[in-house]
Homo-oligomer: A and B are copies of this chain.
């Protein structure tokens, strides 16, 4: 894979004035300025996790999700093994199950094993939403908990059908197996399910949510659950080194994100569906899923990266328009990329996007063989 080509692509994409995907990036100086502007004169930092600022955010998130309590912490990578560890200790078994594309398995250097001493059980088929049968198969192990991701990022933001999700979580509860939600992008789900955040969270014993993806924060996450679960989580967070002197920058950015980004989530889902429809009409492109279920989708572009990417870079530099994000995977005759609609999409009206997408289609036609 031509790494320098991908880097050039990334730079060209980031330099574009208008981009289909992602949130706007104001630049670091303006970002800090915005955080300062959002604060009242008399607001003070949290101190090792306590204080009005952080406690108000935790209460807001707990209430949004209809749970007893929440704790704010630096990252999802810290949050999720802690949730699984708490359920593991309660159930006195180290086995926890998750899909093969879970962040816990793919992107955390197996910290859940190396640090938390947990044993993983992989559920389902690699590129598919898990089924009840998949869970029943996994539960042949003495499971403490199952982690379900909503939506499933690595397979294009897919979700299980609502009735399936209800049946799965009910079956797990009946077995005494706890259900933890990887809700990094949970914010996208209410529109997809036509349910509230609390309706969805009610199916789970514990939930992790993130503030820097859909909601445009700087970093930071919450674990959400009942009071005892959160009390235990606070101890593990101290152990892991996540109880910081000040989390204020992340807390303030998260507060802003809930205010400004969360209300836009349903509209972004409609935009994702519209955009995927337009892109699927272009030569060599097919989105995954064909019709997005949430605010994101993945996309396969046929072609040889060594000729397609330079042409796309040139086009972006000439037009200032970013249609496809940098590829995360390049094969012999295809590229894979991921698009999540953010507030960047709103910088152009639909008719302008149509015009640019048509022009981008002309480009593809010229570089992709039939």
Contacts and interface: CB of A to CB of B under 8 A. Distances in A.
Interface string A24-39: 0001111111011001
Interface string A202-227: 00000000001000001100000000
A32 B39 contact: yes
Taking the full assembly, how many copies of this chain does it contain? 2
Contact of A76 (B235, B241, B242): B241
Contacts of A45: 28, 31, 218
With most chain B CB atoms within 10 A of its CB, the pick from A73, A74, A238, A247 is A74
Nearest to A32: B36
Pairs A-B, 6 closest by C-beta atoms: A78-B241, A111-B239, A249-B249, A32-B36, A77-B241, A29-B39
Nearest to A111: B239
Contacts of A36: 29-30, 32-33, 36
Q: What size tier do the contact residues of chain A reach?
A: 35 or more
Interface in A118-137: none
A110 B235 CA distance: 10
Nearest to A235: B109
A109 B77 contact: no
B248 A28 contact: yes
A109 B245 CA distance: 16
